[in-house]
Every structure is written in C-alpha cells, then in structure tokens.
Structure 1
Amino acid sequence: MLPNNFPSDTSIFINRFSEDSESIRSKQSLMEAATAISEDRTDVAWEILTRLSVSQNPKGIYSEQKLMEYMLSALKSRMSPVDYPPPVAELFTEDHLLSAQSLYERSPCFTLGFMAANLAILEAASEQPSTNKLHVIDFDIGLEEQYRDLLCELFRRQAGNQSTLKITTLAYSFNGEERLRMVGDRLRKLAAIMGVRLVFNVVSQKLSQLSRDSLGCEADEVLAVNLAFKLYRMPDESVSAENPRDQLLRRVKGLAPRVVTLVEQEMNGNTAPFMVRVEEALAYYGALLASLKPKFWWVVDSTRARAEEWVFGKWRARMEMAGFELKPLGQHVAQAMQRSPWLTVKEENGGVCFGWYGRTLTVASAWR
C-alpha cells in the first residue's frame, strides 16, 4: 500500500528513482577517478572526470547533483591546482562566513549540536547554585541563535533573581571584530526584553596572551568555554610544528573552566589515506546536503548507512591528552532532541551523535 502522502503523479517518483540510479553510477565513476589519481594514472583520471563533467546537469538542484559538482571540482584541483585553483581564498571571505552560518541554521545536525552545548553549559551552572553569574568564552561564534536560546533559557530559569550572562568572544580580524560587535548589539536588545543582564566583550588576543585576567574572568561566576566547530579548523602537529590546536587546549585548561563544550564534525578529512578521504567526503557531504532539504522520505541512499569512522574517538583522545575529563551528557539529552524520523540522535561513549539516515554528522560532548 502506498503512503497517504505519495505523489499522485508517479512520474515524479520514477524520474527521481532514475536520478538516484544515475547518482550511484556517477559516484562509482568518481571513485574510479580517485583510484586512478592515487595510482598516478592521470590520463585515465582526466578521461573519467571529463566524461563526468559533460554528463552533469548544469542546473541540477538535487543534493546528489550538487555533491558531484563539488567533488569534481575538488579532484580537478587535486590534479591541476594551476588550471583549477582550490578556493582557499574564499574560506576567509564574508560570503563564506555567511554560508557557514546558513549551514548551521539549516542543518538540524549542526543546530542540535549547539543546543546540546547549551544544555551542558546550563547543567554546569546549576551545579553551582551559589551564583547566578554565567561567563561563556567562545572562540568563534558560529551560530548567533545559540546565545539567543541561552538567553531565553536563562530568563525561564531565573525565577525573580536576575541572571547575568557574560559572553567573551575572540576576533581574529577587523571584519570579524565588526561582525561580532553587531552580534553583541542584537543580543543586548534581546537580553533587555528578557530581563537578563548581558555583558558582551569582543577581544583580540594571541593564544600566548590568554589568561583569566585578560579575558575578564571573575571568581564568583561559572566559567564555560564553548569550542563549537573551532578545533577542526586549527592546524595540529601534522600541519605545523607549533601545533596551535594543542596550544589552545592547554590555554583553555589553564583557565580552569567549569565545563568545556566540544561540537565537531564526525569526519576524517585529514589523516586518512586519499581514497578513504574521498569515500568519506562522498558519504558525509551526501548526507549533509540531504539534511538541508529532506527529499521524499521513501528514497533512501544506502551509502548514508555506511560504518562511521568514529572520529569522536580521536577528539576524545586529544582532549584527554590535554588533561580534560569527559563529562557524559547522558541519554536524556539524546531523548530530548529526537525531532524527526530522518534524524538520528544517540548517546555514544559519553557524547551525543547527530546524524541523517544513520550517518553521524556531528558529535557534541562536554569536558571539565
């Protein structure tokens, strides 16, 4: 029996099924090209990539078509960075920043990761009832909505005793500082309506300068550090001998926060062999693009259910080496965030995993 919401025009379903079959063949060809690249068979790789480029729909709207467009561009850049330069410069533009914020807002796996971080911060605050002052240090505010939600929750919980929320965020460029000050202005307006006292500070400091004093930490406040989608963009020892990522973790540990929230993508895009990275990117970003705008629920891409690399295990080892102890979020957090049949939310090894069609996209965890 067909579901009640099955389209009356079955040609839509037939065409969509045909496109899925074509997508599978395209992905197989893409992996063949990646294999040829890894084996230095450039002529074969170029032939496959050229054939795939010709067959792509330039006006494709489905997530699989967009994914193939991005992957083709990446592999061409890998083979000939001069003719097909990688869009590195775009990563530092205002447009890219706005695109990232749009991604955080539209994908439930990202949005719920921020929500889980809020729950961990509020739980840490509740463990110290002697104060109603909460100080959150954020190294890169990715989603303004996270702090709008935090303000609303503090308003709901303050019960006549006004709460104080201090947000200290770090800017690494002039444009970044200007954007963050605009975020602060909007949050102040909301805080005034909610009756929550908000202190919003934007500071520009090097890692070596970070301390409780330089960040304005006070003895009578609950200190939390939010590392949402920050660490994966920082070089580690495999990229730089200075290892800025571990430098940051050591500095954060030295601040003695009550809780550190970590939200990261569940994807190994750096240390794995080339073929594994290509396969990982296909599976991960295929599910991610699909999560932005769900398709018909009965069309299931089996690649989304592939076994995950469990990158969270690597983040867990990294945090523990820096001296942090895992503070399990618990099954109650996962249960509170189950929103749709497509979205999978589960507690795993102390963290909460958010996925689409069984493919984990982000993991949220708390540390102390």
Structure 2
Amino acid sequence: MPYKRPKTDIVGDTGPVGLPRLCFRDHVKSYKQRLSFDEGLDAIAGSEVEVGGGGGGDAMDLVRMLISCAEAVACRDRAQASALLMDLRAQAQVLGTSFQRVAFCFVTGLSDRLSEWDEALELAYKLCPFIRFGHFVANESILEVLAGESSAHVVDLGMSLGLPIGHQWRDLIQRIVDRPGPPMRRIRLTGVGPRAERLESIGDGLVDFARGLGLELEFRAIVTNLEGLRPEDVKAEKGEALVVNSVLELHHVVKESRGALNSVLRTIHGLTPRVLVLVEQDVNHNGPFFMGRFMEGLHYYSAVFDALDVALPRYDTRRAKMEQFYFAEEIRNIVSCEGIARVERHERADQWRRRMSRAGFQPSPVKMGAQAKGWLGREGEGAHGFTVVEDKGCLTLGWKSKPIVTASCWKC
C-alpha cells in the first residue's frame, strides 16, 4: 500500500490570512506607550512610502505583524509566534524594499529565539525526569485501558509538547508491539496543536516508526488551540477504545474567567474517553495576588534548580541553556505577564480535582507507585533526590518531598 501523508484538518477561528485571530496585548504597554508606538508605526510606514515609492499599507501591516510576533515571543505564546512567523517569512524578503529587508533580519532573529526554546525543551526532556515521568505514567495508564483491545484511538492535547520526534508515542508503540497476546489491529493517533508543520513532521515520523515494527498507525492532525477543539473534529469511531492524553498542557487554558477551561473539559467529556490522563505541575501559580504567586514560584523553581545542580555540573552549557531558555521563560511569564499573556497558570492537584469533578469526570486512581519507583531507580544518578508519592489517587514526582508534577486519571 502506498504511503499517504497524514491528513491535516484546519479548524478554529482564523483571520484573513488563515492564522488565529490576532489581538494586541494592551497590558504590555500603557496607553501613553501605545500611542507613541502607533506614531512610530506611522513614521516607519511613511518612510517606506517615500523610499520605496508605494506600499505604505503593506509596510504598516508588516510592522504590526512583526511587533505582534515579538510580543508573542516575549510572552511565551509559542503558538501565536509560530503562526505569525509563517506569514512573516512570506512577506519579509532579503531582496525586497528597505523595510522588507530589515524585517527579514528580525524574523530570522525571532525564529532563532524560538529554535533555542525548542532546543532547551529537548534538553529538559533528556536531562530532567519531569516530562519523562509524565510520559511514563500516561503510557502505563493507557496500556492498562487498552489491554485486550484490537482498535484504539489516542487523542494527544498539545502533541507531546511539540517535542520533534514524539518520544511518548514511540515508547507506547513499541510497548504495544511487544506485549503478549493477539496483536492490535489498528491504532489511530490524533494530535491537537497550533503548529501544522510540527504536527505533520511528528506524525510522519511516527507512521514510519510504527510501519517498521509492523503496526498500522493512522495519524491525523487537528490544527487549532485547545479552545477551538470541537467533538466532531476528533472523528471518533464506534468500537474503538478512545483515550485522551494531556501532559503539561491544560494549564495553558486556565483563565481568570474559568470559562475557557470549562469549555475544553466539556468537549473532552463529550468524547466519552475510556480515560483522560492529566499531568500537571503541582504548584499554585494562578493566585489572584502577585506576591503569593511570586513566593510560590520562588519556592518551586528553587527546588527545580536544586535538582538540576545534582543532575549536571554548574558550568555545563546544557544546564545553562535549559535554565535560561526553558525554565526562565516560564518564570518570566509567571512574574511579568498578566491577562491573556500569562499562560503558565499552574495549579495544585487539589484544585485540579475540584475542576475535573465539576466538569463531570470521576477519578480513576493511579496505582503504580511501585512501578514508578522502579522506573525512577533506572534513571540513574540524575534521579537521585527525587521521590514518588501516591496520594488521593494521584502519583506525584517530587524533589526532596517538594511536589513537582502530579499525574492523575479520569473517566466519564
């Protein structure tokens, strides 16, 4: 059978160029600063008309888009930044007008900054157990639900955090192939996220990997943020065991109004999954008062950096890159951003229990403490000092008893 590229569906609210609708972050600048900023745009666009002989409207659009992209990068909104960069690359030209050329240089710089974030994320995955712990517990829970099933459908919210080769799903595919009993006839994987190119790249690699092991994997991408996800987008089929995976993702949907997360949880509940696996940072960075949020963040990230000291030498450049382009970006978002720009809205496990219960989910206790401790023991010296605790049906990875991430499972 000839290989078909993964199907990509574009869903969600889009603007005139097919990107998510853009909105300026008014909290970034005061009214006076915004007025000065707009006057500066007029001056740049006017200069472009004089020098380039026309296209002032296009120049203004390019400037505004470039500034929006810079704001998205500064506020850690990778989805918005990636979408804007895709359109900016088509307009900023190395052989264009004077402003198109300077815009090209700034687009390159913004793209490099995002690439540094991606590299730091990959380092965090390899060198810290936080994300791998979440993937381990999630896969064990999914395998338990899929035992004896011949057809399965996994929906991944955020698509493996954007990690380029889909580490979690390669492990799951290998485990499915290796398990005893009748082979699974078919598995579908649906990735939900805003970055079309990244989703397709991950999907292509996973399809090839599964084929090499003799497993039929169908990959489908839903290109949208979580708020834009609808039950009909998932295209669930009768007879398949459907599970939903969310690793360090749902906290991005938590807002002051709480309506966005409630809507997403209702959508997931409407899919009636066999299990929803939820892995989140176990700390309250979403309090209404700045000082409380600041102190919570200071204690939490002090523990994280203490753990990094044990895993890597102080002068290791990998540690520095991971801290400055991954964890420091989280800290900056928690401390300096407000409103829609504050996307790192971590909450404690008890808060998630209340949210999930209100959305109609029932807890499905995670009973694999011994397995998780065995997994941690195989992680080597880098895992020394970490603890695994079962509490109220959840499994928590901590650093010297300080909770870092908690995994829980939920059913309808």
Same-fold call, TM > 0.5? yes
Runs of 4+ more than 4 Å apart: 205-209
Q: Tell me the SS of whatever aligns to 1:338.
A: helix
Equivalent position to 2:230, from 190, 204, 210: 210
**In the alignment, does 2:293 pair up with 1:277?**
yes
Does the alignment pair 1:248 with 2:264?
Answer: yes
Q: C-alpha offsets along residues 112-150 of structure 1, whole Å, 9 cap, x if unaligned?
A: 111101111111112xx2x32111111202142111110
SS in 1 for 2:243: strand
1:164 and 1:198 map into 2 onto residues whose CA distance is 6
Cα displacement (A) at 1:109: 2.1
Residues of 2 paired with 1:205 and 1:90: CA distance?
17
CA 1:310/1:178 → structure 2, altered by over 3 Å: closer, same or farther? closer
> How far apart in 1 are the matches of 2:410 and 2:229?
23
Who is 1:346 aligned against? 389
| CA distance, structure 2, for counterparts of residue 104 and residue 197 of structure 1 | 27
- CA distance in 1: counterparts of 2:361 and 2:387, whole angstroms: 27
Q: Percent of aligned positions with the same letter in both sequences? A: 29
Of 307, 315, 331, which residue of structure 2 is paired with 1:291? Answer: 307
CA deviation profile, 1:92-117 (whole Å, cap 9, x unmatched): 25333443343233320221111101
Q: 1:346 to 1:209 in 2, by over 3 A?
A: closer
Q: Is the 8 A contact 1:337 1:345 kept in 2?
A: no
Partner of 1:268: 284
Q: How many angstroms does 1:262 deviate by?
A: 0.2
Secondary structure, aligned partner of 2:362: coil
Deviations 1:303-353 (A, max 9, x none): xxxxxx981000111001100011011134444433243111111111100
Aligned partner of residue 138 in structure 1, secondary structure: strand
| Aligned residue identity for 2:279 | V
Correspondent of 2:179 among 133, 157, 174: 157
1:88 aligns with 2:107: no
Counterpart pick for 1:318 among 349, 352, 355:
355
- The 1-side partners of 2:130 and 2:261 are apart by 24
After superposition, what is the alpha-carbon deviation per residue over 1:200-234, rounded to whole angstroms, capped at 9, x for unaligned?
Answer: 100235746612x4312111211000111111111
CA contact (8 A) 1:333 1:352 kept: no
Contact 2:281-2:347 at 8 Å conserved across structures: no
Structure 2 counterpart of 1:219, which letter? K
List per-residue Cα deviations over 1:143-163 (Å, max 9, x = no partner).
Answer: 421111101110111545244
Shift of 1:271: 1.1
Deviations 1:248-303 (A, max 9, x none): 00000010000000000011112153333222212211222333452699xxxxxx
Q: Please, which of 221, 224, 227 is the counterpart of residue 246 of structure 2?
A: 227
Residue type matched to 1:342 in 2? G
Q: 1:160 to 1:360 in 2, by over 3 A?
A: same
Q: TM-score, normalised by structure 2?
A: 0.59
Q: Tell whether 2:134 aligns with 1:113.
A: yes
In structure 2, what is the Cα distance between the partners aligned to 1:90 and 1:317? 28
Q: Which amino acid aligns with 2:406?
A: V
Residues 170 and 205, structure 1, Cα contact 8 Å, conserved in 2: yes
User: When you count helix as a share of all residues, which structure comes out higher?
Assistant: 2
- List runs of 5+ in structure 1 lacking aligned partners: 1-84, 298-308
Query: 2-side partners of 1:322 and 1:224: how far apart?
Result: 17
- Name the SS of the counterpart of 1:323 in structure 2: coil
- Count of residue correspondences: 263
CA contact (8 A) 2:229 2:264 kept: no
2:215 aligned residue: 196
**Contact 2:285/2:293, CA 8 A, preserved across alignment:** yes
Residues 108 and 291 in structure 1, CA contact (< 8 A), matched pair in contact too: no
Indicate the residue corresponding to 1:364 in structure 2: 407
Partner of 2:109: none
Asked if structure 2 preserves the Cα contact closer than 8 Å seen for 1:154 and 1:163, the reply is: no
Distance in 2 between residues matched to 1:153 and 1:113, nearest whole Å = 16
Return closer, same or farther for 1:366/1:90 CA change in 2, 3 Å cut-off.
closer
Q: TM-score, normalised by structure 1?
A: 0.65
Say which SS state the counterpart of residue 175 (structure 2) adopts.
helix
Aligned in 2, Cα 1:209/1:363: closer, same or farther, shift over 3 Å? closer
1:171 corresponds to: 193
Deviations 1:232-253 (A, max 9, x none): 11133x2x47x21111000000
Matched residues in 1 for 2:234 and 2:363: separation? 24
Q: Which residue of 1 aligns with 2:42?
A: none
Q: In the alignment, residue 179 of structure 2 is paired with which amino acid?
A: R
